[in-house]
């Protein structure tokens, strides 16, 4: 069991830095993932050894999770199948409880960093390169801080943008359904993926914009905002990823708009028409 679970963790890019106890006792444990900074314990796993070896593992840093099941040469009895289902539920509850604690810690950290930071100005290298304004964001040393709040206004996490444009979030912070708002909506609200797009849209249209941070978060944010603003016109402004197979920017934007009875705006580029 141990080697197989360890192989699965390594194959997913979540192998431990050093040997860890993979005893299948159903308890959630955390560990340092290879490549993470010393002292961190972003990795987690839960495993069982009976009646069938299995478990789950993931990373609070990346937000990913995986399930694993060992090989079995025989079929399970009804009581064993029931036990496996119980174990699955226990794993889900253990992960949910740990996730709640991790997200609470991220909220506290975000609140502290946001309070320490100062309002950003347009002199930041990233803003200058993108030719955008510093609408409501802050700066801490050389990093821009973009707040991600839920529909109730609670600060859940922060996005950090460096001078070279690289981005990261606080480890373990909640991002699903959270967004950064620029302006106040009147009759419509624009949704988009990133800060640069949002700032450009706001400067060009004067309409409020919600930064969703990724194409995968467009749908959760759209649904949350539809509940908050049932009569508002929602317009999802897609990233036209025409060079990427499946064009995820447009695909996710259309799905989000359709789910909330909204509209889609897609930028057109000459090379996309070729």
For residue 155, being part of any structural domain is answered with yes
262 and 196, same domain (yes or no): yes
Residue 113 inside a domain? The answer is no
Whether 258 is covered by a domain: the verdict is yes
Q: Where are the beta strands (DSSP E) in 80-232?
A: 118-119, 138-140, 143-149, 155-161, 167-169, 180-182, 188-192, 209-211
- The DSSP element (H or E) to which 54 belongs, if any, is strand 54-59
On whether both 68 and 137 belong to a single domain, the answer is no
Question: Is 190 inside any structural domain?
Answer: yes
Range of 24's domain? 2-108
Q: Are residues 122 and 231 in the same domain?
A: yes
**Judgement on whether residues 130 and 168 belong to the same structural domain of the protein:** yes
The CA distance from 274 to 81, in Å, is 56
If asked whether residues 215 and 123 sit together in one domain, one would say yes
Q: What is the total count of domains within the chain?
A: 2
- Distance CA(257)–CA(266), nearest Å, equals 12
pLDDT values of the chain reduced to their tens digit, one per residue, 274 residues: 446 889 999 999 999 999 888 878 888 999 999 999 899 999 999 998 888 888 899 999 888 999 988 877 678 888 888 888 888 898 889 989 999 999 999 999 999 999 999 999 999 999 999 999 999 999 999 999 999 999 999 999 999 999 999 999 999 999 999 999 999 999 999 999 999 999 999 999 999 999 999 999 999 999 999 999 999 999 999 999 989 999 999 999 999 999 999 999 999 877 655 4
Question: In terms of domains, do 51 and 150 share one?
Answer: no
Residue 67 dihedral angles phi and psi, to the nearest 5°: -110, 155
| Angstrom distance (rounded) from CA 80 to CA 162 | 52
Considering the domain architecture, whether residues 149 and 210 belong to the same structural domain is answered as yes
Say whether both 229 and 264 belong to one domain.
yes
260/224 Cα distance (integer angstroms):
10
234 Cβ contact partners less than 8 Å away, ≥ 6 residues apart: 188, 189, 191, 222, 225, 226, 257, 260, 261, 262, 263
Same domain, 127 and 251: yes
Torsion sign across C-alpha atoms 188, 254, 177, 212: negative
Chain centroid offset of residue 108 CA: 18
Examine residue 76 and state whether it is found in any structural domain, yes or no: yes
**In the listed set 61, 88, 108, which residue is the last one of a domain according to the structure?**
108
Question: Which of residues 108, 134, 164 is at a domain's end?
Answer: 108
pTM of the model: 0.84
- 123 and 87 both lie in a single domain: no
Cα end-to-end span (Å), the chain: 53
Single out the residue in 66, 81, 108 at which a domain terminates. 108
Residue 126 and residue 89 share a domain? no
Q: Which of 248, 246, 136 is nearest to 202 (CA)?
A: 136
Same domain, residue pair 136 and 178: yes
Whether 184 is in a domain gets the answer: yes
């Amino acid at each position: 069991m141990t080697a197989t679970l360890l192989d699965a963790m390594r194959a997913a890019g979540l192998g431990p830095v050093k040997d860890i106890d993979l005893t299948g006792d159903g308890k959630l444990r955390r560990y340092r993932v290879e490549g993470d900074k010393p002292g961190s314990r972003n990795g987690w796993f839960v495993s069982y050894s009976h009646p069938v070896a299995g478990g789950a593992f993931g990373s609070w840093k990346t937000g990913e999770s995986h399930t694993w099941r060992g090989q079995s040469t025989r079929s399970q009895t009804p009581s064993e199948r029931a036990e496996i289902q119980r174990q699955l539920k226990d794993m889900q509850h253990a992960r949910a409880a740990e996730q709640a604690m991790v997200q609470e810690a991220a909220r506290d950290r975000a609140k502290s960093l946001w309070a320490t930071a100062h309002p950003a100005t347009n002199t930041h290298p990233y803003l200058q390169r993108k030719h955008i304004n510093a609408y409501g964001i802050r700066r801490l040393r050389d990093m821009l801080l973009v707040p991600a709040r839920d529909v109730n206004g609670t600060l859940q996490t922060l996005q950090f943008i460096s001078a070279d444009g690289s981005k990261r979030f606080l480890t373990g912070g909640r991002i699903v359904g959270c967004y950064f708002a620029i302006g106040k909506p009147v009759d419509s609200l624009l949704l988009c993926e990133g800060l640069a797009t949002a700032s450009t849209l706001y400067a060009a249209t004067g309409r409020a914009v919600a930064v969703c941070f990724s194409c995968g978060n467009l749908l959760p944010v759209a649904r949350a905002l539809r509940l908050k603003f049932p009569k508002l016109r929602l317009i999802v402004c897609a990233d036209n990823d025409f060079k990427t197979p499946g064009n995820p920017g447009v695909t996710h934007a259309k799905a989000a708009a359709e789910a909330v009875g909204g509209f889609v705006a897609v930028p057109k580029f000459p090379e996309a028409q070729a």
